[in-house]
Structure formats: C-alpha cells, structure tokens
Structure 1
C-alpha cells in the first residue's frame, strides 16, 4: 500500500486540549487514512545541523513550552519507536550520502505529539522522529525528504510538522484572518498545486509578505514543507485538505502529497 506524505501545521500547543474545526479535522483524517504501519515525522521543533533520527524503543513526551495551563503538562503520548524503521531510514540516508546521528532518550516534542494525539489517540503506531535543518537550502531539504520516498510504498506515513505562516511576534486575538497571511498562503498554494519547485525554493524572494509569514528567526516552521514534498517526489501531486487561522495569522493547514 502506498500512503501519501503530509504537511501538518501544529499551531499552538493548546490544540492538544482544544476542540475546534482543525482538531476535528485531524481526528477525522486519522480515521480516513489507511492505518500506517509506522510514522516518520520531520519536526520544526528539532532543528539541527546534523540530521538526527530518534532510536527509542518507547518515547517520552516532551513539554517543550512554558506558560500554558497545568493540564498541558500532564498530557502524555507514549508511542513506541521502531527499530526496523530507524534502521531502514539509516540505510536510505547512507545510500544518499547523508551523514546522520542516532539519538536516544530525547522523547517526542510537541510538534509531533500534539498532532498525533489527535490523529492516532491510542498511541499504538510506532513513531520515528527526524530533525530538520533550517540552514540548508530548500533544494537540500527537499532532497532529504526524497531519500525516504520508498517508505510510502511500505505503508509508512511521512509527515512534515510545522507552520506555513508562523510569526509569534505578529499574532493577535482577531477571529478574522489577516489579509497578508491569506495572500501568502494562497501564493504558496498556487505553487504547490502546480509543483513549481523553482518558485517555491525562492519563496523568500517571490512570495508576497514572505518576511512576515516566515521571519528570519522562524524558518524552521516552514521548512518541514519541503521534506514532506520530497517524500512524494515520485508522485508530484498536492492537495490542500484544510485551511484556517488562529490569532489572526497563525496558519492551520494540512497538505497531502502523492497518492
């Protein structure tokens, strides 16, 4: 069975406790997709110059945020790891001449568990977390994702977890979406639907309001998009499954790539 790859916005950690249109969408998405054998997640909250791969047999739950209600710190997502998937990822990185670092004992950050506890609340599907490197070029990030494209044919779900418009210095309390955020998202959507890699790789120069949407201090939230796209390099199709906003411009979107 061949699964798609996904880009999933993880928004605010509070999504873990919220019941809204986006959380209900994620719950439904987990029910509608064929159940994967395992899940590999590139997370914005693991930004490292060394490609890193989790190797835990069972994962702890990182509460890598502060100032939230106490109930947030009580949440756990005790998903198992997968030695076989970790080994296969390592072999694929070796074949692509990509050095990588096995990491033991880190736990799953909230870029992973917040979305997975909505999609797969039983925490019974093995998970391998992978780092991103926001300092690499988009073409390099895409190429790293492409190294894992064959995993999709083995019923492994590859996810990039981040946020296309994610500028915490500009969020407010408006229930209406800020026009600049919408314009940026729609420009990205146009390029994705046509798989215009050259345009997307130069998004920071060509997309409207790119500096507001993807500030220089926050590119790690945007780049999981390229890893997820790369994982569908053999089936270049993109479909937007969901789009909404919180706090005026925090983009909650989900893109599906490939079949």
Structure 2
C-alpha cells in the first residue's frame, strides 16, 4: 500500500547544515544567505506542527545507534579556527528524554541495538542548523548518532523503524552536507560537486520506495562520489531521512551553485509540508 502524507504526518528532511557556528557570525551572512532563507522557509511551511525534533547528526559517530537524553544538553564546539567568542555561544533548547527512549525502543523492536546517552550535548550539526530554524531555542531536540561503519542499508533501515514518530509530532531531520570535502571547498570542487548533485537530484526526485533506497545504497557509483564524500559521515543522515519516508516524493528545498563561491549543494524534503510557502 502506498503511504500518503496527511496533515498529521510530518515530512522528513535532509538539510545541509553549513560550516561551524555560521548563524552567530555576521561576516558569514552573505555566504549563507541562500541556505538561511531556505531554513526560514522550512520553519514557515511546518507551521507549529512539530512538538520535537529528532536530528540525525553527521557529527556523532558511535558503534550502535545512540540517542541523546540530557534534559538540558550542553554544547560541543566541534569546529576549529573560528573566533574565540564562537566557543562561548549557547543554544539552550531542551532535550526530551522520553523521545530518546521512544526512538531507541523503536529500533530495538525492529531487532537493532540502540543506546541512550544522558550526557551528550549539542554538536554544531545540530545547534547551527536549529539556530537558523528555531532561534528562540524552545523546541525540544533529541540527537541520533550515525554508525561508525557507515553501512547505508542499516541507516535506511533505522529510518524505516523511526517512521512512526512522524505521526507523533516529531520532525525527523538528517543533518549533513551534500558536498563534504573540506580540502575542495573552492573552485577545485566545482565540477565534482555539480556532477554529484546532478546524480543526487535524479536519484531522489526520480523515484520513491525501494528503487530510491537502492539508488542510495549504491551511492559510491555516483559521479565523483569519493571526491565529494571522502568520508560518508555527512551523507548517512540522508539515508535515515529517506528510510523514514520511503513511499513519499522528494522535493528540493535548497539548491545553490555558488556555495563558497563554487560548490553546488542541495537539501531535500520527503513528503508534503503542512503548509505551502509562497
């Protein structure tokens, strides 16, 4: 049976979260203007439907899937070379231990090992993204790790098991970056990023269900795949987001061909938004 999105079923997203603490750096605003506008549009199209956000973050790698369960998460400044004041910023959104337990239970019921971490703080794959979407920092957030083995099939399967959360007011967000080769962020990465992004759009927008998931399982066959993702940490959150919305169409929610002057990058929504954005 084909699953359809209703007003009570939230979409899932794969979002490019940008670099470091960019929302707190006014001098970076021009470079991030397109991404920032897309994230503010996301907030408007969601209306007030989510009660919490589950962020599958590229910046937390564990042996088994793990969920953060701190009631008041701290900060993890997992970036380097930024101004001193960016190591003092805070994003005081609450955690939601009950959601962490629920999500871990869904994975365990599906035969997966899942853990709870009551001390994990917010990494920049979470707090930079959420600052742009929810600057008031009132939305409860739980983080989900990716597995160290980067097994694409297991990340898709985990997403499938988490799908019931979408009917419980939980917004599932895969936080990564569709191009993540820090040594090729300028003109040297232009052609590779465009080639990979073209494949990614075709793979996601042109299919649903198992054919789309199969495309992602074979992501290494994409043009310039290993140039764009020397490590696939920033791609695995996409697999979870797709798994959680298997039968629903993908929509391009952000696209830029001059990110950092040369890079092509994209974000995607899977399923219909609660509200259209004009």
Normalized against structure 1, the TM-score is what?
Answer: 0.92
Stretches of structure 1 that go unaligned for 5 or more consecutive residues are none
On the 8 A contact 1:184/1:213 being kept in 2, the answer is yes
Partner residue of 2:45 out of 9, 14, 32: 32
**1:203 pairs with 2:226:** no
On the 8 A contact 2:69/2:120 being kept in 1, the answer is no
Q: Post-superposition shift, 1:177?
A: 7.5
Stretches of structure 2 that go unaligned for 5 or more consecutive residues are 1-7, 273-278
Corresponding residue for residue 4 of structure 1? 11
CA shift in 2, pair 1:14/1:125, >3 Å: closer
Counterpart mapping for 1:9-158 below 5 A: 9-16=16-23, 17=25, 18-19=28-29, 20-35=33-48, 36-158=50-172
Corresponding residue for residue 198 of structure 2? 186
Corresponding residue for residue 237 of structure 1? 249
| Structure 2 CA distance for aligned equivalents of residues 14 and 75 of structure 1 | 9
On the 8 A contact 1:26/1:118 being kept in 2, the answer is yes
Which stretch has the larger CA shift, 134-143 or 150-159? 134-143
Equivalent position SS for 2:182: coil
Normalized against structure 2, the TM-score is what?
Answer: 0.86
Aligned residues: 253
On the 8 A contact 2:190/2:264 being kept in 1, the answer is no
Q: Post-superposition shift, 1:253?
A: 2.3
| Structure 1 CA distance for aligned equivalents of residues 262 and 233 of structure 2 | 17
**1:247 pairs with 2:264:** no
